[in-house]
Structure 1
Amino acid sequence: MTKTFLASAIVIMLAAGGVAAQEMDHTAMTAQGETAVPAQAITATLGSLKISDGYLKAMIPGQPIGGGFVTITNNGPVEDKLIAISSPRATRAELHEMVMQGTIMKMRKIPDGFVIASGATLKMEPGGYHLMFMGVQMPFKANQTVPVTLTFEKAGKLELAMPVVTIRGR
């Protein structure tokens, strides 16, 4: 009964959009219990960008949202920016961060993308920056891969088959 109510409430908040969707409880998706990068995390390169430690977390049944993480290192002479993400498994995908407001952790969309300066590394991890997938009809399940496209301002698009790990990150 509680799961059904929670799932229904999340669907209503997503349908309403705006602030309601941004203030959802993403505790399970961003749980910090396991901080080590899973062994099956993906690594790839695109021009001077190195993408490593890429993975998605398994979703809670009945919830239409999922999250993922990557580390991006810019080995090039100029900055680049991750401006968009997409997946055929989600009706919408966005770049987000979790922030503490008092004692409450809230999610916030980053509409302008993540800048990766020359020589810098951007690390996405539970409780911080992350990839957010909404309107997921078939939940991400552990031991699957999900097609994800990262779009960079200068380097272009990179298509990945991101592995899905358990909610605890294993």
Structure 2
Amino acid sequence: MIRLFRPAALLAPVGLALAVSACGQPPVEAPAVVEVTDAFCRPTQVGRDVTGCYMTLTASRNDRLVSAAFTGADKVEIHEMTTTDGMMRMAELPDGLPLPAGEAVPLKPGGNHIMLLGLSQPLAEGERLSMTLTFEQAAPYEVNVVVAQPAAPASHGGH
């Protein structure tokens, strides 16, 4: 008995293997999203053209705040505060601020913050402004920021 070679017979198992492997692929990940809450900037002090802005950022996946923009400032920088030998020092984070997945990352007075430099006009309490945050993975986020003094620390009744 003579058997004829049929190439199509070889393709059926290969096609089945490809179909099964495609079904085993992990689902496409949802795009990164960053939630922004409690955003405010301090009013500027008389004669000063700089101020700090604060908020809490929570990323759905590991991400990084890489820049911020405000049209009323010459420059906007992401800063960290550190204490070395009892001295507080402020420095720009040139690579941005890491945002671990699901972890609320506060930008607050005395800690990490956004610095507005070379403001074209003073910021007065009660004003509202718009700032654009840019992330490594998530889409840019337009945040509405109120100009306000930071809340006073909670009192412990003299204790």
Tell me how far apart the structure 1 counterparts of residues 103 and 58 of structure 2 sit (CA, whole Å): 6
Question: What secondary structure does 1:142 align onto?
Answer: coil
Tell me how far apart the structure 2 counterparts of residues 113 and 144 of structure 1 sit (CA, whole Å): 27
Task: Report the counterpart of residue 22 of structure 1 in structure 2.
Answer: none
- The question of whether the paired residues in 2 share the 8 Å contact of 1:83 and 1:153 is answered with yes
Task: Report the counterpart of residue 100 of structure 2 in structure 1.
Answer: 117
How many residue pairs get aligned? The number is: 122
- The question of whether the paired residues in 1 share the 8 Å contact of 2:33 and 2:139 is answered with no
Alignment of 1:86 onto 2:69: yes
Task: Report the counterpart of residue 54 of structure 1 in structure 2.
Answer: 39
Alignment of 1:156 onto 2:134: no
1:4-43 to 2 correspondence within 5 Å? Answer: none
**After TM superposition, which residue ranges in structure 1, 4 or more long, deviate above 4 angstroms?**
none
**Which whole-Å deviations, capped at 9, do the CAs of 1:105-130 have from their partners, x for residues lacking one?**
12111010111122222111110000
Tell me how far apart the structure 2 counterparts of residues 159 and 113 of structure 1 sit (CA, whole Å): 18
Give 1:140's match in structure 2, choosing from 123, 132, 135: 123
Matched letter for residue 129 of structure 1: N
Task: Report the counterpart of residue 85 of structure 2 in structure 1.
Answer: 102
Tell me how far apart the structure 1 counterparts of residues 32 and 63 of structure 2 sit (CA, whole Å): 11
The answer for unaligned runs of 5 or more in structure 1 is 1-45
Q: TM-score, normalised by structure 2?
A: 0.71
Matched letter for residue 43 of structure 2: A
Residue 169 and residue 63 in structure 1: after superposition, are their counterparts in 2 closer, same or farther (change >3 A)? Answer: farther
Tell me how far apart the structure 1 counterparts of residues 45 and 130 of structure 2 sit (CA, whole Å): 19
Cα RMSD (Å): 1.7
Shift of 1:139: 1.3
The answer for unaligned runs of 5 or more in structure 2 is 1-30, 153-159
